[in-house]
Structure 1
Amino acid sequence: MEDALASPPEPGTLPGMEAEAAIRRLGGTATRAELRLLVPKRRLRRAVELGVVLRPRAGRYLLPEVDTTRALAHELSAVVSLRSAALSHGWKVKTVPPQPEVTVPPGRKISPQTRARASVLTSALEDADVVAGVTGPLRTVVDCARHLPLDEALAIADSALRCRDLRPAHLARAAHDVRGPGRPRVLRVLSHASGKAANPFESVLRAIALDVPGLDLRPQVGIALADGTRVVPDLVDSGLGIAVEADSHEFHTGRGQLTSDCWRYDELVLDDWAVYRFTWDQVMFRPAWVRSVLVRAERRARATQELVALARAHA
């Protein structure tokens, strides 16, 4: 079924809302190339004119929440943090926070009126943790890993690596130094973060897979097919012969990419790989079902391996 964002806006849609919805779906920030299939150029230009989306530089778009959060943090003498900090760094998130997320020092009294306007975290921050009123890249990733669900935190850590604002060595050092409540959650995110994930969609799918015992899906693993062709599915468990694809036209570049994806799927199946495909809506809104599919996929793959081993033993 064709995605609603690829269709003309519904009657009564406010100017600019189509662009805003597309950017939210793409992780809160987007390039013109990512938006090309979703929003006509003139509608995107109109959204910028109306202030519904921001264009900080050519070819780059983000939601106005970034500026709103900075202004509120300044008013409260707070620091932009968590998902709001990730967006300020230009990273993609699974979910744009419904309220600005900020951090204040321990002991700061927060009025009910303030709490109604922002999500306030209380935590001690060193000067080195803050850059221009925003938690720095490493502190942002660690805080998100400590306080957010796995899928949200992994999407942010992946984006930080993908943008090269952090490198694996930074996360390894942080894993060695991390202390305090939530340490196991932080270590889990830091150990599984990968810049190979193309977008939050793939990151969230991998986070779901991490909760499936016996499954070891890794991002962007190359597979050499029988004819010598090399393909790179989104997630691969080489030991079980499972390939998982995050299928969504938001991240395709047109008919040529769709043709390539179909060819890759067919060739993998013919080469005896078990291929499972999930849409963005399934991953974001039906994670329990996605996990159930992956659980059954893992069981089927192991059962198949046992049957093959038994047949060879009796050959």
Structure 2
Amino acid sequence: MADVVEVLGRRGGAAAFAELRSVVSARAIRNALTAGEIRRVAKGVYALPAAPSALVAARSQGGVVSHLSAAQHWGLGVITPPRLPHVTLPPGRVRRRTGLPCVLHWANVPVLGDVTTPLQTLLDCFRTLPLADALAVADSALHTGLVQPDELFDAAARLRGPHRRRIRQAAALADGRSESVLESALRTLLIEHGLGGFVPQWKVADADFSARIDLANPQLRVGLEAEGFEHHGTRRALVKDCRRNVNLVIRGWTILRFSWEDVMYDGTWVVDAVARATGRPPLTNALRRAA
């Protein structure tokens, strides 16, 4: 007879009583529950104490993990993690009062196991999220190869019904060259304010030097760096970054470096700075206020 904890572990941390009972005894289930090795999360649904909350919530409602929770499951970049798990139920199914709290959606969706497929996850995020959050997820999926660009374009083109135009536009903007959610968010600011001409991960190279710029306008030689602290938190990293910046400047590049706080919480200042650097009038008076 199999061990209850082992069975739940192989089921992703949660399972219905009938699934457990097919391989373990009712007495073993009761003993594991009494010992605190498992917990009851809904009528007839049991889970490991450390089971992934999204998966447990989905099974407690009889649905599948979806949207941003599915993006997290697939290891994709997420700007703002969801406060509650996202779960999709088949149309017509009602919320279980004994199920765990979650954000519910209703649709017939393709799944792998108990999670929406990576492609469906992108389409759901395009449909429900602000552009920056949606592109962070999509850029990550394309960058890792979990979803192919043609696959995404074709799926978006085949869609019918509400939000199809929004989804198609977002699919066309997704770019697997972006290497972080911060880069995706910075690129979205440029897109939303009409600051075109910027290319992700542009390579600058000659016989003595080589570097890639997060977002670059090659024609104007203006580069933007999305600076995450984790990549610059040591003395060695600081010295290397200073040398790199000087090498870009002496090769004719203007480099603007933006922090997470800049991009996420002061976007008007960021777009004004980029506008000025590219020879355009500022879009607001944010720079003047900052001075």
Fold conserved (TM > 0.5)? yes
Q: SS of 1:236's equivalent?
A: strand
Q: SS of 1:278's equivalent?
A: strand
TM-score (norm 1): 0.67
Closer/same/farther in 2, CA of residues 177 and 265 from structure 1, 3 Å limit: same
One-letter amino acid of the counterpart of residue 109, structure 1: V
Alignment of 1:120 with 2:100, yes or no, is no
State whether residues 66 and 88 of structure 1, in contact with CA within 8 Å, keep that contact through their aligned partners in structure 2: no
Q: In the alignment, which residue of structure 2 is the partner of 1:283?
A: 263
Q: In the alignment, which residue of structure 1 is the partner of 2:117?
A: 136
One-letter amino acid of the counterpart of residue 102, structure 1: V
- Give the Å deviation of 1:232: 0.8
Closer/same/farther in 2, CA of residues 124 and 235 from structure 1, 3 Å limit: same
Q: In the alignment, which residue of structure 1 is the partner of 2:231?
A: 251
One-letter amino acid of the counterpart of residue 155, structure 1: A
- Give the Å deviation of 1:65: 9.6
Map 1:34-183 onto structure 2 (within 5 A).
67-110=52-95, 117-125=101-109, 129-183=110-164
State whether residues 212 and 294 of structure 1, in contact with CA within 8 Å, keep that contact through their aligned partners in structure 2: no
Distance in 2 between residues matched to 1:208 and 1:112, nearest whole Å? 41
State whether residues 231 and 237 of structure 2, in contact with CA within 8 Å, keep that contact through their aligned partners in structure 1: no
Q: In the alignment, which residue of structure 2 is the partner of 1:9?
A: none
Relative to structure 2, which stretch is displaced further, 270-279 or 253-262?
253-262
1:182-219 deviation line (CA, Å, top 9, x unaligned): 22322232222222222211111111111121422221
Alignment partner for residue 190 of structure 1, among 171, 183, 197? 171
Closer/same/farther in 2, CA of residues 288 and 184 from structure 1, 3 Å limit: farther
Q: SS of 2:219's equivalent?
A: coil
Flag structure 1 segments of 5+ consecutive residues without an equivalent. Answer: 1-63, 302-315
Q: SS of 1:197's equivalent?
A: coil
Structure 1 or 2: larger helix share?
1
Q: SS of 1:124's equivalent?
A: coil
State whether residues 70 and 80 of structure 1, in contact with CA within 8 Å, keep that contact through their aligned partners in structure 2: yes
State whether residues 202 and 212 of structure 2, in contact with CA within 8 Å, keep that contact through their aligned partners in structure 1: yes
Q: SS of 2:82's equivalent?
A: coil
Distance in 1 between residues matched to 2:158 and 2:239, nearest whole Å? 47
Q: SS of 1:166's equivalent?
A: coil
Alignment of 1:264 with 2:248, yes or no, is no
Alignment partner for residue 209 of structure 2, among 225, 229, 249? 229
Distance in 1 between residues matched to 2:261 and 2:102, nearest whole Å? 28
State whether residues 65 and 100 of structure 1, in contact with CA within 8 Å, keep that contact through their aligned partners in structure 2: no
* Residue correspondences, number: 234
Closer/same/farther in 2, CA of residues 297 and 66 from structure 1, 3 Å limit: farther
Q: Following TM superposition, where does structure 1 have runs of at least 4 consecutive aligned residues deviating by more than 6 angstroms?
A: 111-114
Q: SS of 1:152's equivalent?
A: helix
One-letter amino acid of the counterpart of residue 276, structure 1: L
Distance in 2 between residues matched to 1:202 and 1:228, nearest whole Å? 27
Distance in 2 between residues matched to 1:112 and 1:292, nearest whole Å? 50
Closer/same/farther in 2, CA of residues 167 and 66 from structure 1, 3 Å limit: farther
Distance in 1 between residues matched to 2:194 and 2:146, nearest whole Å? 32
TM-score (norm 2): 0.72
Closer/same/farther in 2, CA of residues 259 and 120 from structure 1, 3 Å limit: same
One-letter amino acid of the counterpart of residue 254, structure 2: A
Distance in 2 between residues matched to 1:260 and 1:189, nearest whole Å? 36
1:93-150 deviation line (CA, Å, top 9, x unaligned): 1111001111123333337886x9211122232xxx1111111000001110111011
Distance in 2 between residues matched to 1:229 and 1:160, nearest whole Å? 31
Closer/same/farther in 2, CA of residues 82 and 251 from structure 1, 3 Å limit: farther
Q: In the alignment, which residue of structure 1 is the partner of 2:17?
A: none
1:137-177 deviation line (CA, Å, top 9, x unaligned): 00001110111011111111111122221122222322332
State whether residues 66 and 84 of structure 1, in contact with CA within 8 Å, keep that contact through their aligned partners in structure 2: no
What is the RMSD of the two structures over their aligned residues, measured on CA atoms? 2.7
